[in-house]
Each structure stands twice: as structure tokens, then as C-alpha cells.
Amino acid sequence: MTTVSYFGLTLLTLGAILGTYFWRGMGVLFASRVNSAGAVFQWVTFVSYAMLGGLIARMVVLPIGPLEETSLLIRSLAFATGVTVFLLLGRRVLPAVLIGVGSFITMMFFSSFNVAVP
């Protein structure tokens, strides 16, 4: 049986909170000095989008954990549904994510019945 140190967990949580808000505060202080139209800012934006795209592709194609037990077809269809909604609704992220996740949950629910579709 594992003994939980509540002091350690509290210290870890407070450290994470302080670390997060420190960098947020630094971002607020330096935000007025950053040229958002500059080449460096655009490069950082492109790199962050590329990393996000890579992580999403990895989740769909090579998932880990419980997602690994799901069908590639279901993951791909849910992803395609989300992207389609994103493009059809004028690049609105929240509805696309909600509908993509909802379609994944719905497909997983119906695939659990193991019913052959003619």
C-alpha cells in the first residue's frame, strides 16, 4: 500500500501554481514590447502550430493508453468530422472540438454493440 504525503502533494501543487503564474506575469510585462508582426513572432507561431498538428496526428495514428484500444477508423472519422465542422463553421474551434469528441463518443458507443451493419 502506498502512503500519500499530503504535505508533498501540497508543496508540488503550490510550486506548479507559482511557476505557472510567474511566467504568465512575465508575459504580461513583456507583451507590450513584442512586435507581433515580426519575423521571430511569426516563426514561433508557425512552430507552435506545427507541434500541435504533430501531436494531434500522433494521437490519431499512434495513440497511447486507453485510446490505443480504439479503432483507427473511428479515430480517423472523428478527426475528419471535427476538421470538417471547423472548416464549415468559419474556423470556429469550440464547436469543432465538441462535435469531433461527440462523434468519437457516439461511434465508440455504437461499436461496443458489435452489430454487423449490412
Write down the domain spans for the chain.
70-113
Model-level pTM?
A: 0.66
Cα 43 from Cα 55, distance rounded (Å): 18
Q: What is the DSSP string of 37-97?
A: TSHHHHHHHHHHHHHHHHHHHHHHHS--GGGGGS-HHHHHHHHHHHHHHHHHTTS-HHHHH
Give the DSSP H or E segment for 103.
helix 93-111
Average pLDDT, integer, range 27-42: 86
Instruction: Give per-residue pLDDT as tens, 64-84.
Output: 999 999 999 999 999 999 999
Other beta carbons within 10 angstroms of residue 96's beta carbon come to: 19
Q: Quote the CA–CA distance of 100 and 43 in Å, as a whole number.
A: 29
Q: What is the pLDDT of residues 38-49, one digit of tens each?
A: 898 899 889 999
Could you report the per-residue pLDDT of 105-114, keeping only the tens digit for each? Answer: 999 998 887 6
